[in-house]
A and B are shown apart, each in its own frame.
Chain A
Amino acid sequence: MVHLELVAELKGHTDRAWQISWHPNGSCLASCSGDKTVIIWEPSDLNGENPNWHRQGVLDGFHERTVRTVAYSPSGRVVATGSFDGTTGVWEKDTSGDYECVATLEGHENEVKSIAWSASGSLIATCSRDKSVWIWEAASDDDFECLAVLQEHSQDVKMVKWHPKRELLASASYDDTIRIWEDEDDDWLCSNTLEGHESTVWALDFDAEGNQLVSVSADMKIKIWKCYTPQNNLGIRSFSNSLPTWKCICTLSGFHSRAIYTVSWSKHHGRIATAGSDNKINIFEEDPEACQDADAPTYVLAASVNEPHGVSDINCVQWNPTEAYSDLLASTGDDGIVRIWRLVQDI
Chain B
Amino acid sequence: MPGPNLINANPVIHTPKAQLERVFRIEEEDESVHDLFDQQEIYELIRNINDPEHPLTLEQLNVVQPDHVHIDDAGNSVLVEFTPTIPHCSMATLIGLCIRVRLLRSLPERFKIDISVREGTHQSEVAVNKQLNDKERVAAALENSHLLEVVNQCLASAL
Contacts and interface: CB of A to CB of B under 8 A. Distances in A.
Interface of A: 16, 34, 65-66, 68, 84, 110-111, 113, 129, 156, 158, 174, 199-200, 218, 258-259, 277, 311-313
11 contacts: A16-B139, A34-B139, A65-B140, A84-B140, A129-B140, A218-B133, A258-B112, A277-B135, A311-B76, A311-B109, A311-B110
Interface centre among B136, B137, B140 (most CB of A within 10 A): B136
A113 B136 contact: yes
B114 to A, nearest CB: 9
Given A16-B139, A199-B130, 16 more contacts: A34-B139, A65-B140, A68-B136, A110-B140, A111-B140, A129-B137, A129-B140, A156-B134, A156-B137, A218-B133, A218-B134, A277-B112, A277-B135, A311-B76, A311-B109, A313-B135
B143 interface: yes
Nearest to B127: A155
A174 B139 contact: no
Nearest to A36: B143
Interface string B61-83: 00000000000000010000000
Interface in B118-149: 130, 133-137, 139-140, 143
B143 A200 contact: no
Q: Give chain B's interface residue range (CB within 8 Å of chain A).
A: 10 to 19
Nearest to A113: B136
Interface secondary structure of A, over-half rule: loop
Given A277-B112, A311-B76, A65 B143 contact: yes
Contact of B134 (A66, A68, A110, A174): A174
A113 B134 CA distance: 13
A66 B140 contact: yes
A77 to B, nearest CB: 29
B109 A174 contact: no
A313 B109 CA distance: 10
Nearest to B110: A311
B127 to A, nearest CB: 10
Contacts of A84: 139-140, 143
A182 to B, nearest CB: 28
Contacts of B137: 129, 156
A258 B77 CA distance: 11
Contacts of A16: 139
Contacts of A277: 112, 135
B76 A200 contact: no
Contacts of A218: 133-134
B139 A66 contact: yes
Nearest to A85: B143
A259 to B, nearest CB: 8
A312 B109 CA distance: 8
A110 B139 CA distance: 13
A129 B134 CA distance: 12
A66 B112 contact: no
A266 to B, nearest CB: 25
Contacts of B130: 174, 199-200
The 6 residue pairs across chains A and B that have the minimum distance between CB atoms: A311-B110, A84-B140, A65-B143, A111-B140, A311-B109, A84-B143
A66 B143 contact: yes
Contacts of B76: 311
A346 B130 CA distance: 41
Contacts of A65: 140, 143
